[in-house]
Amino acid sequence: MDRLLIRGGRRLCGEVTISGAKNAALPELCAALLTEEALTLRNVPRLRDVATMRTLLERMGVAVQTHGERGGMTLHAAGPLDPVAPYELVKTMRASILVLGPLLARCGHARVSLPGGCAIGSRPVDQHIKGLQAMGAEIAVEHGDIVARLPAGRSRLRGARITTDMVTVTGTENLMMAATLAEGQTVLENAAQEPEVVDLAELLICMGARIEGHGTSRIVIEGAEALHGAEHAVVADRIEAGTFLCAVAAAGGEAWLAAARADHLDAVIDKLRDAGVTVEEAADGIRVHSPGGAALKAQSFRTTEYPGFPTDMQAQFMALNAIAQGPSAVTETIFENRFMHVQELVRLGAQIRIDGRTAFVEGGARLSGATVMATDLRASASLVIAGLVAEGETVVDRIYHLDRGYDQMEVKLRALGADIERIA
């Protein structure tokens, strides 16, 4: 099992290119199931989750070909599809639920194992099921599988007005994809507004779907009888960009993050600026300059749905707060078990106390290297950031979590001057 060895204390200076967004690429790969024609995606990140999704789609009968140096991938779901997502492929990745809507819309039936992924709390799929049932699907959970089919005599889902009980990104994406082939109009109320949802909608529109309101809480989809092939570039990963912003902020230095979208990171950038970090926005990237965490002021925040502070940036910013000056309170409102990185940060010398859904960070800690264990994807990133500023050597174990969501993070950090290496 691979580890990362980090020798802390170096400033980060230089340039890196932000990869395509994992949380946009995964549903966009699933969108290939909606058409018999070829779908070509560019800027697909090289991630473990992407490889898992590719294997799953190939298992269903989708022909997949990679090409080009910038993450080109062509998917062709022309032949008969096997609409089954088995447990052995689904257990490591919750995003596998995203095949359910497209399979049901295209094939009329599907069997998808209940998904796994990071152990950061409950991520129920009941909103997906509720929405598809409103569109006429018959759904049951049998032996750990979601079994969905159209009623006898129906060849298509039917449009419906769906109001989810909570804001759900994958739920919005699943229902939006299913609605593109439904009969009539579908209205999604309380829809997720994340940039990844918008990017998926723009891809579907390129494929011939009729969608309005994406980027707001109300999305309207007029179903079509068929979609066609298209070409699309995956939007840049705002969480990867935010992670590198926090890394430079903590370690100190100056970096240019090519392709990063500042307009997707308003809440994070506002907090960094309040902390004392200089962030300059440009059309083709973000420039960040920081004196280092010890010269910054810690910032309190609470996570919430987009456009609020993203839960996927909570752990990284907490690592920065641990070494910045002053106390701070970090409240997690999205997932109930997303403070597992705290005890590992404490091993490095951070002073953090948890009370319910709020972590109280003392600030001003002098971190020292130790062996720590990654517990989930974003926790891994927070430990890497802490290791970059800790005295001595830090070893981050179980980095397969990191590989699920970051495209060659250690290579990009080395390009900025970090002393970091992967140990097999």
Helix (H) or strand (E) segment spanning residue 386: helix 377-389
Is 23 labelled a binding residue?
yes
What's the token pair of residue 4? 């990362």
The reply, when asked if residue 123 is annotated as ligand binding, is yes
Ligand-binding annotation for 124, yes or no, is yes
Instruction: Check the annotation: does 334 bind a ligand.
Output: yes
Q: Is 403 annotated as a binding residue?
A: no
Two structure tokens written together for 45: 């990140």
E-state strands within 38-184: 38-42, 63-67, 72-76, 84-85, 109-113, 138-142, 145-149, 161-163
> Is 94 within any annotated ligand binding site?
yes
- d(CA 385, CA 201) in angstroms, rounded, equals 33
To the question of whether residue 125 is assigned a binding role by annotation, the answer is yes
C-alpha to C-alpha distance for 279 and 261, rounded to whole angstroms: 12
Closest CA to 287 of 318, 239, 249, 329: 249
Annotated ligand binding at 151? The verdict is no
Q: Is 118 a catalytic residue?
A: yes
Q: How far apart are CA 131 and CA 144, in angstroms?
A: 20
Q: Which of 107, 118, 206, 246 is catalytic?
A: 118
CB 320, CB 341: distance < 8 Å: no
- Concatenating the DSSP letter of every residue in 196-217 gives HHHHHHHHHHHTT-EEE-BTBS
376 is in an annotated binding site: no
Give the residue numbers of the binding site. 22-23, 94, 123-127, 312, 334
Supply the residues annotated as catalytic: 118
Give the residue numbers of the binding site for phosphoenolpyruvate. 22-23
Give the residue numbers of the binding site for UDP-N-acetyl-alpha-D-glucosamine. 94, 123-127, 312, 334
